[in-house]
Chain A
């Protein structure tokens, strides 16, 4: 058993003055968040679609290889050689995409072009359909209480007694959301990419530029969603309140945007939907604005400045709300 000197112990060391002063806060908040079962359920849900994608890539390639081993009738009849043949799923996807984009000469596209088109669309679909739903869940589960709980338990006050600024505090909180959103979007995306690179011949050489785009898209989504959620979280002392507003804004705005776009036949109403703005901008990153389609499948042609302005306004408003909450703690 240790026996300690009961006198007041002088600290004899030097203080650290790291540039990222908020980092300890992030580590503890992540550890605290990971203690919740709900988070593990969401992490599981986040990985399931990527496992599905990996399975489809792997088994469809295996199946294609089996076909190659049988006498190749198409080659005899003058079709592409087995080396030039793509995974049949990719062939089918590229044909469908080309039809939507009005490209008639699909056969004239090179193998690399086909790989690239299929990659952009596959990852866009991956991020915007299953992972987008996961982002919705993880942002609320992780972020709703980040500031609300601090306000309720007065922890905000104790943070500000330490050598950190209000900006450090916000950055620390934001980093927690960014971490979890990247964990549920970028990591599964990389799992899919790695599987494709290992399974499909020559895929990596063609498709590697998708990696920085994936990272950019995931970072963009995590930063905007994170700031928006922190703004909601700082509105009240209850994380439930922030969660309800978050889902209501996402769902109601999406529903209203589709209804108005359908009724007025004006696709610009789609930007009323919070998440549609991400779909459009990430579509721009992945395929030049033609990814984002209205329900009939027609691409929406619009200036990217519209969603940038909308999301920018949301970010600005959220920052103002956060600042106000911290100011009220300072002027309490």
Chain B
């Protein structure tokens, strides 16, 4: 089966400013986080992937069809925009109903569907008959999400969906996003707030300065960064003894241990071959009679990948 979204050599110019440079990526089912700092080109790429913006060069195919110039494809696409785009005088129910009708949902049963969806996104019932102009940021966000999901799209694009939501709201929206993915849908979530997506998915498409820096599973991406040593944190009962043995191993680049760490039973290692280290470590611990309590890699997460790819490279003039 081919990818749900197939991005091929997409370039976008705004006059003399280049927003995206030869973006090629394939997005499959499930949740994919579109990451990048502000101005990376995330919203432009979402615009192109939803057929809103025409690429200067290249093509995007969604569900096998070119997305530009095919409004019929919008039956299967839902977009929750970063910007508010409402008729401020309309009530939420009227707005969602209008959007549903434009999406081709028949009148029969539409009222029930609208109410279900507003309940689902957590918009309080007493707010339904109020003008949207009286809504808070979070309520607007929920209304936008409801219109994006009303027609049960197979592919959902959410551009900064958590903006303005309180922690409870974020949790609820995250649950909805997971639910869509669990039922076979494909969700692309754009954000520059990493901890939002860390709880949702490991699949990322990382952009900076209009280029793809990384694509795929965050852990695999991390493993492939061979020039950037992993940091591994070990908690055990005799850190000094373990450090002494591990310093002899070729796969270990550096060992960090000070009095405070020793008192806490902690030991920090740097390695370029995490796979070998993780295989070797239990064996050495057993030989020494050291009890391992905890093993973690603070580098094996999205934030570390993001920091390295975006910040470090930018500092080194890597782009």
A binding-site residues for B, Cβ under 8 Å: 2, 4-11, 13-18, 21, 24-25, 28, 32, 35, 149, 153-165, 168, 329-332
Contacts and interface: CB of A to CB of B under 8 A. Distances in A.
Contact of A24 (B101, B151, B176): B101
Given A8-B120, A153-B86, A164 B113 contact: no
A156 B81 CA distance: 12
Nearest to B83: A154
A158 B85 contact: yes
Contact of B84 (A9, A14, A153, A332): A153
A159 B102 contact: yes
Contacts of B147: 158
B129 interface: no
A155 B85 contact: yes
Interface residues on chain B, size class: 35 or more
Given A8-B176, A163-B104, A332-B53, A32 B90 contact: yes
B229 interface: no
Given A15-B104, A35-B89, 10 more contacts: A4-B116, A9-B152, A11-B113, A15-B105, A24-B98, A154-B84, A157-B81, A160-B51, A162-B103, A164-B71
Nearest to B82: A154
B99 interface: yes
A231 to B, nearest CB: 21
B52 A160 contact: yes
B85 A14 contact: no
A6 B83 contact: no
Interface of B: 14, 47, 50-54, 71-75, 77-79, 81, 83-90, 94, 98-99, 101-106, 108-109, 113, 115-117, 119-120, 147, 149, 151-152, 176, 179-180, 183
A13 B109 contact: yes
Contacts of A163: 71-75, 102-104
Given A32-B90, A164-B71, A13 B102 contact: no
B74 A161 contact: yes
A157 B94 contact: no
Contacts of A13: 105-106, 108-109
A329 B52 CA distance: 8
Given A162-B103, A163-B102, A330-B53, A6 B120 contact: yes
24 contacts: A4-B115, A4-B120, A8-B120, A8-B183, A9-B116, A9-B120, A11-B113, A15-B151, A24-B101, A24-B102, A28-B90, A32-B87, A32-B89, A153-B88, A154-B81, A155-B85, A161-B77, A161-B78, A162-B99, A163-B102, A163-B103, A165-B71, A330-B53, A332-B53
Contacts of B89: 32, 35
Contacts of B109: 13
> Which 5 residue pairs spanning A and B have beta carbons closest together?
A11-B152, A154-B85, A24-B101, A15-B104, A162-B102
Contacts of B71: 162-165, 168
A173 B244 CA distance: 77
Contacts of B176: 8
Contacts of A9: 113, 116-117, 120, 152
